[in-house]
Amino acid sequence: MEGPRGTKREEFEGVINLVNLVFRPESKSMQKEYPTLFNEDNLENLRIIIEDGKIVSHIGTLERDISIYNCNLKVGLIGAVCTHPDYRKRGYATLLLNDCIDRFEKHGCDFMLVSGALRIYDSIDCLLIGEVYRVEIREKDLWIFEKDEEISIENCPEKYCKEMESSYNQKLVKFIRRKEDWENAIRNKFVMNAPCEFLILKEKREYKGYLIVRFYEDKKMFEVREYAGEKEIIKKSIPHIFKKYKLTGISFPIPCEDKDFACYFQDRGVSTYIYPISGTVRVLNFKRMMEKMRPYFREKIGEEADKMKFEEIDGKYIISLDNEKFIMENRRHMTWTVLSRPGKYQIKSKNKLSQYIKEILPIPFVWYGINYI
């Protein structure tokens, strides 16, 4: 066995053949669908294992900066995890995952985000986290929306790349996207593992926002994969979208930091469910991540945030303030306390420190959108 290691230039075709065999045996389209991941400038981040002179296992990785309430952090993305059918159950994927954890930690990543929720990811404490409000809008709900004849919908993202980027950058929780992220998504129209359309929302012919959507059910329904822009215009656009595309329903995931937006629908009787975010997350370095979030904590609870101490000792994660300590017994407990999960992870103690922790945690996490790999 050779590896885990990066891919050599002459091995790139072999990587593409393997991922196509596992994920796209008919269309052989992985490179076209994920050009940001599968390109010859990213070879070192395509981690592989060699056996019997051929590539038998692979994990694709990217690293991206993110912003959570103006605090800058870093996430290591993982996708296209696969092993050749003839070489499975030998522990190769686990070796590659551990290799990725080590590399991400050395590179200063605070989180690892995997585009999957398999048992193997759970075994390394890569967990389902967060709360997303999934609003299910049907024709019967259209009465709640204000009618505005000045709203129009266009399908021409190429003309509005800068405007879309500007809208996205207004989000409180977001990826710090590179130019290539936008260019590849708009060119390929493939987002979160499916073909998608980019709908430009206008009022009086002026750009106001966008929706990235996946049609299904013979194009009678669609799911929003990403949105940004003026919330009022998004709401007003919904009746127009139903009419334009002759829809019977829209599935609209809304991350927890936009809870007020979700509540607009929920309060008017639109069916709303709560799910974890797409993918699974491992917190890589608790102390470093919490230190980076300290400016946000300071906004929430003032100077007490500066007195807090964050530690990892013997597999336990500790937040302390003066003589009080809040102890999370393991990585899972810590992850769900810091990042939440549907139903929340209850903090039961009632001392001063615990009350502060309830004010600063959980923090929201980024939604994939066009950064899915």
DSSP 333-357: HHHHHHH--TT-------SHHHHHH
Q: Half-sphere exposure (CA, 13 Å, Cβ side) for 76?
A: 26
Residue 345 · residue 129 · CB < 8 Å: no
pLDDT of residue 362: 95
pLDDT of residue 351: 87
The two structure tokens encoding residue 327: 């102890």
How far apart (Å, rounded) are the C-alpha atoms in residues 94 and 84? Answer: 14
How far apart (Å, rounded) are the C-alpha atoms in residues 213 and 173? Answer: 20
pLDDT of residue 28: 97
pLDDT of residue 346: 73
Buried b (16+ CB within 10 A) or exposed e, 216-255: eeeeebbbbbbbbbbeebbbbbbbbbbeebebebbbbbbb
CATH superfamily of 132-275: Gcn5-related N-acetyltransferase (GNAT) (3.40.630.30)
DSSP 8-state class, residue 217: T
How far apart (Å, rounded) are the C-alpha atoms in residues 242 and 176? Answer: 32
Q: Which CATH class is domain 2-109?
A: alpha beta
pLDDT of residue 332: 95
The residue ranges of the chain whose pLDDT is under 70 are 344
Name every residue whose Cβ is closer than 8 Å to that of residue 243 and which is 6 or more positions away in sequence: none
pLDDT tens for 273-306 read: 999 999 999 999 999 999 999 999 999 999 999 9
Residues of the chain with CATH 3.40.630.30: 2-109, 132-275
Rg of the chain (C-alpha set): 22
**Quick count: other Cβ atoms within 10 Å of Cβ 82?**
23
pTM for the model: 0.95
